[in-house]
Chain A
Amino acid sequence: MKGFGPKRYFFVLPAIIFTILFAIYPLIYNVVLSFKDVTAITLIQKNTRFIGLSNYKEIFMDPIFRRTSFNTLMFTVFSILFQFIIGFLIALLFNKNFPLRDVMISLVMLPWFIPILVSGTVFKLFFMDMGLINRLLLSFRLITKIIPWITDGNIAIYSLIIANIWLGIPFNFIMLYTGLKGISEELYEASEIDGAIGIKKTIYITVPLLKPVIISTLLLGAIFTIKVFDLVWIITGGGPGNASHLFSTYSYQLAFGNYNFGLGSAVSVIMILIIVSVTIILNLIRIED
């Protein structure tokens, strides 16, 4: 580094400019908007004014926002939990050698290759009252009455979670699978000599060695899940009766449906704060190791 002097900063300039322009400026602008009275009208007439915490107060008084917070929490926790467990189990399975393994891997990755617009629409057709799932269950006499998967305010969010789990498995699988590949076979052999058999190998060798990968997977998974938008928008549009909104869709509806950019920004700022705090917490855990 010596000898470069202040010139060396010149080389990081493009990266700094890029970050300021495309990450920091919009973020700050978003935060500023959330403290202002911004609608399409005030924006164009250039008479937006600061209204302090009014937007946040209004949001926290809003019953739809409370429901949305609950939904986002359920959506994130259950999605990540099941995506991770299923992805992990599949990764463990594929870590064994068996014929046609590579073909099967590409099949597992399939949900990732399909545009969400397509898979979302298919899920909508599956979940309908007169959709495939209900018809199958009825014909096998597993149910006697139709299950309102996406037409009941209390059930809709869980149906969305099911759809999202399916979408998220490939990501969890591929992360953990590559992690597993990095663990040396010798370690398992050595442990076998020490008497580790079956599940013990997974608990005492695989999981501890995989910890950094696990945390990265959970971290990225959390970020991806909290900001899911298209899936909900396609299947329920946040309905019925605004009972299946997530932060992302509700923020969009406020900002671009009602043209109330101030309220929409307030919701997205809350969403960003949550994502940032989750990131910090998970990073702290990683650093401790």
Chain B
Amino acid sequence: MKFIRFISCLSIAILLIFSTIVFAQQKTTITVQTYWSPEQPWSTGYVLIEAFKQYEKLHPDVEIKHIYVPFGDLVKKLITQALTGDFPDIVFADNPDIQYLARAGVFKDITKLVQEWGVWKDFIPGSQLAVTYRNKIYALHQSTNNLALWYNKDYFKQVGIASPPETWDDLIKVCQKLKASLPAGVYPIGFSARNTEEATWQFEPFLWSNNGSLLQLDRAEAIDALALWTTLVKEGYAPRDVLNWGQGDLTQYFKNKQLVMIIQGCWELSKLGLEDYKNKGMIFGTNFDVTSIPVPKKGMKPVVPMGGECFTLPAKGNPQKEKIAWDIIKFLNDAKNMADFCANTGRVPTRISATDLLVKERPDLKVFAQQAKTAVPRPAAGAGERYTEVSTITREGIQKALAGTLPPEQAFKEAAEKIKKLFATTEEFNKALVEARNALSKVRK
């Protein structure tokens, strides 16, 4: 009997010693959920994982686990997680979804943490707007991206066009010239007007540069912008297929030299992207280049919508892990790390101090970096948490005009009425209208 007692005491002691050793060595695991797949080397997800590895090197007691969720499922997943309260330690969302999800109660109010960190003023105004909901900060905008005009220099030279178009009139003239001398099957310009957010996102630079607003589509500024797009399609400068093209399709046709100009984003200028262009015989700077999207009249400034994703803490997190999670978010948003991340993935920093670092390393991203300073977050300029509905209605109008179902004025008049009906009262609508105007003027300053 004594022997058995001795053995059991001994085994308990051994177990205790071992478990202390194991616990002492056990790392804290922090989970991060994004829609960036890390599979392909030098893809955005891959670069993110590299940043995590760097953090782990500096903090050997922390292990970061990445959870991949497909793009279309992320918001659904966050909503489900909010219902069950079972969140990863760091959550992530595209910037236009932040306000909606913040209102739904998915994110933690991190205003105090951000203030303590003390770099809030270094973030560009658009990024500040994107992550703020009712004067509270809910996330940090880790990188941004936006759109520009890409053009095939070889075709320009061939036709005798010295410089890319700067105004809408220029654009039409350049298209005319190209169309007259291009072989069949090659179109002067392509953009994306597919029945997804892409259509609204690609249209916004034209709308906003013309001082238009998503909430007043029946105004001349908005109708003129749509009329320009309609002209491009009607005259055959852009194929009607833009109605079914996503941004990925544009890249394909641009590489195949079937499109001379495209409206495209900076994410294509990642290390991986540039390599792929090279393989297709297109070298950046030699065969093709980027410039700002044409503005209505000379002297006007291009205003583009703001892209890019945000990292933050979930509403209900593990309090012990929260501290480390916030430290990782700060690490990702550090100026140097942000610039590195952007240089590798073809994105633009959201912090002014990081922008200079990036432009030094990647002068080819200058156009995008400059535009980012005045870029507009979509919800802030389009009814906040109602943005997705506003966007759906807007692109219905765009598609109807481009397909020739309705003339531009009527298509947007119909859309404007529908958007007004989203609001219960006129006061509510007017409030959103003022907010949108304020947002646009805030970033324009």
Contact = CB atoms under 8 A, between A and B. Distances in A.
Interface of A: 40-41, 43-45, 64, 124, 128-131, 148, 150-154, 235-243, 253, 256-259
Interface string B239-251: 1110110000000
B240 A151 contact: yes
A236 B194 CA distance: 8
Interface in B92-150: 100-101, 103-106
A148 to B, nearest CB: 6
A64 B400 CA distance: 13
B83 A241 contact: no
B237 to A, nearest CB: 13
A259 B79 CA distance: 10
Contacts of A253: 392
A41 B83 CA distance: 11
Contact of B104 (A45, A64, A238): A45
A151 B401 CA distance: 11
Contacts of B185: 130
A276 to B, nearest CB: 27
B195 A151 contact: no
Interface string B165-198: 0000000000000000000010100000011100
Nearest to A254: B392
Nearest to A233: B195
Contact of A44 (B82, B194, B243): B82
Given A130-B241, A235-B244, A239-B195, 12 more contacts: A41-B104, A43-B83, A44-B82, A44-B104, A129-B239, A130-B185, A152-B404, A154-B405, A238-B195, A241-B400, A253-B392, A259-B388
Contact of B240 (A40, A148, A259): A148
Contacts, number: 95
A84 to B, nearest CB: 29
30 contacts: A40-B79, A40-B104, A43-B83, A44-B82, A44-B83, A44-B104, A44-B105, A44-B106, A64-B396, A129-B239, A130-B185, A130-B241, A130-B258, A131-B241, A151-B241, A151-B243, A152-B403, A152-B404, A154-B405, A237-B244, A239-B399, A239-B403, A240-B405, A241-B403, A242-B396, A242-B399, A243-B405, A256-B76, A257-B392, A258-B389
A40 B239 CA distance: 37
Contact of A153 (B72, B105, B400): B400
Interface in B283-297: none
